[in-house]
Structure 1
Amino acid sequence: MKQLTATGPSIDEAVQSALEQLQTSKDQVTIDIIDEGKKGFLGFGSKPAIVKVSIKKNPLQDAETFIYEVAEQMGAPVQVHSEVRQRDIFLNLEGEQIAVLIGKRGQTLNSLQYLAQLVVNRESDVFYTVMLDAEGYRSRRKETLENLAGRLADKVVRTNRDVRLEPMPSYERKIIHNALQQHEQVKTSSDGNDPRRHVVIHPR
């Protein structure tokens, strides 16, 4: 239950009733007063106060809860180390079955990251970016992609023909683009539509 409407003889009592039902505290909610109520005279003509109490959205907690639950269902329970920098949420996963959550070439990890971002931004007025890593996989993948970019650039120079890479998520394509940005003999572009969008390396 994320929110509810409660009534009481006064606003404070209506709010307290809502907090008890939501099992939370006042600092964790937002309160909208629908009707201030009316005391009346000797009990006649009185109206109860009505409030709507909503639990504040906690994007980090939402992301962590989603990952914990999905990892458990996949038979790969994890520990999550998290950090928030402004509107960026960084989650690093550790666990004995971490390879299950990474998947082939990081495809499972990418899917989990995408879904976690959807969960975090659902019904939110502020957009948060979620970055999911697993025991340093992202840095190892970055190094692999940079090495791949260098090898394929050499091939383009040698053959003077375009080389198309496999489809990648946007941040992995960016690694390829950045790796070859200063290369004097090749240039890069992206082609196709997601999820089949890919990098093309061209001779200059």
Structure 2
Amino acid sequence: MNAENRREIEVRGDDVDQAVANGLAQLGLSRDEVEIEVLDEGSRGLLGLGAREAVVVIKPLSAEALKKEERPESEPAPELVAEVVEVEPEPEPEIETVAEAVEVEPVADTAVTKTTEEPKTSQEEAEAERQAAQATIETLLAKMQVTATVTTSISEPDDVTGRQINVIEIHGDDLGVLIGPRGDTLNAMQYLARLIVGHDLHQRITFVVDVEGYRQRRELALSRLAERMAGKVVKRQRPVSLEPMPPHERRIIHMTLRDSEDVYTESSGEGKYRKVKILLKE
């Protein structure tokens, strides 16, 4: 090991393993030839917020330390085999215990009791969802160190199904970081919150998370975009494809133009590349 490789260095990485790998590459040493001190384990943050790199200090071991590390493998202790053999005779009594447990059947009574419970009504499920969703969003905001107020409301009836859903609204100052480009961060937060609440309640989850009325503004902007592009299709007599959108935004385009006498819409593409195409009616 030359003198250059004996220097102590501080390196960073996405996580501790990456930081160590970066340092070993710089020194040209293996993990067995260095001493590693973790200064900061780093964090990926939540939804991309609060992320920081891992920091480690890597110090090459001296020649003397390396010699001490190179010890011959210790011979296996003969007593270990004897101990393992002595453990063998014990399993027999436990089989009888299991057999007795199978004959006792109080569990069946418990199951019958559970099946007699009345199922929750849709109103009760909606209320349970509302409370759980609000608590989950408040917890996520606290972990993200974002100061905001969380309220709930009920949406207007859907134009097609007539259904109403819970809306979890976040209010505060400078909350653009919770929305992200084209609502990506907000959609990710909503997805995560739905997963958590759905896991806790074991029921279908449909609530929507909004920040300072962003979704309403976005819906209005998309409706105007749909109408403007429909006019362009009619004027130019050729179809127009919009940029890829998530399902709920594509639905806004479809709903806006569903009663048009001049154009119709269809979706094409796969996954996150799925988009709406506006075409001229024959």
What range is the shorter-chain TM-score in?
0.5 to 0.7
Q: Quick check: 1:87–1:128 contact (8 Å CA) kept in 2? A: no
Counterpart in the other structure of 1:68: 138
Task: Spell out, residue by residue over 1:57-106, the C-alpha distance to the aligned partner (whole angstroms, 9 max, x if none).
Answer: 95334322332232233342221101468983320110113111111221
Cα deviation, residue 123, structure 1: 5.0
Structure 1 CA distance, aligned partners of 2:248 and 2:150?
Answer: 22
Amino acid corresponding to residue 64 of structure 1 in structure 2: Q
Cα deviation, residue 158, structure 1: 1.9
TM-score of the aligned structures, taking structure 1 as reference length: 0.65
Counterpart in the other structure of 1:185: 262
Judging changes above 3 Å, is the alpha-carbon distance between structure 1 residues 84 and 121 closer, same or farther for their aligned structure 2 residues?
farther
1:79 to 2:79 alignment? no
Q: Quick check: 1:76–1:97 contact (8 Å CA) kept in 2? A: no
The DSSP-based 3-state class of the residue aligned with 1:189 is strand
Q: Quick check: 2:154–2:165 contact (8 Å CA) kept in 1? A: yes
The DSSP-based 3-state class of the residue aligned with 1:166 is coil
Q: Over aligned residues, Cα RMSD in angstroms? A: 2.6
TM-score of the aligned structures, taking structure 2 as reference length: 0.48
Q: Quick check: 1:87–1:129 contact (8 Å CA) kept in 2? A: no
Judging changes above 3 Å, is the alpha-carbon distance between structure 1 residues 83 and 150 closer, same or farther for their aligned structure 2 residues?
closer
Counterpart in the other structure of 2:220: 143
Cα deviation, residue 194, structure 1: 2.4
Across the two proteins, how many residue pairs are aligned to each other?
A: 152
Structure 1 CA distance, aligned partners of 2:196 and 2:204?
Answer: 11
Structure 2 CA distance, aligned partners of 1:115 and 1:70?
Answer: 9
Aligned residue runs from structure 1 range 31-180, under 5 A: 58-83=128-153, 88-122=165-199, 124-180=201-257
Percent identity of the aligned residues?
38
Structure 2 CA distance, aligned partners of 1:178 and 1:142?
Answer: 11
Task: Spell out, residue by residue over 1:21-71, the C-alpha distance to the aligned partner (whole angstroms, 9 max, x if none).
Answer: xxxxxxxxxxxx8699xxxxxxxxxxxxxxxxxxxx953343223322322
> Unmatched 5+ residue regions in structure 2?
1-105, 110-124, 156-162
Structure 1 CA distance, aligned partners of 2:139 and 2:205?
Answer: 20
Structure number with higher helix proportion: 2
Amino acid corresponding to residue 232 of structure 2 in structure 1: K
Q: Quick check: 2:136–2:197 contact (8 Å CA) kept in 1? A: no
The DSSP-based 3-state class of the residue aligned with 2:271 is coil
> Unmatched 5+ residue regions in structure 1?
1-32, 37-56
Structure 2 CA distance, aligned partners of 1:186 and 1:84?
Answer: 33
State the structure with more CA Rg. 2
Structure 2 CA distance, aligned partners of 1:130 and 1:194?
Answer: 22
Structure 1 CA distance, aligned partners of 2:169 and 2:150?
Answer: 6
1:196 to 2:273 alignment? yes
The DSSP-based 3-state class of the residue aligned with 1:122 is helix
Structure 1 CA distance, aligned partners of 2:214 and 2:260?
Answer: 26
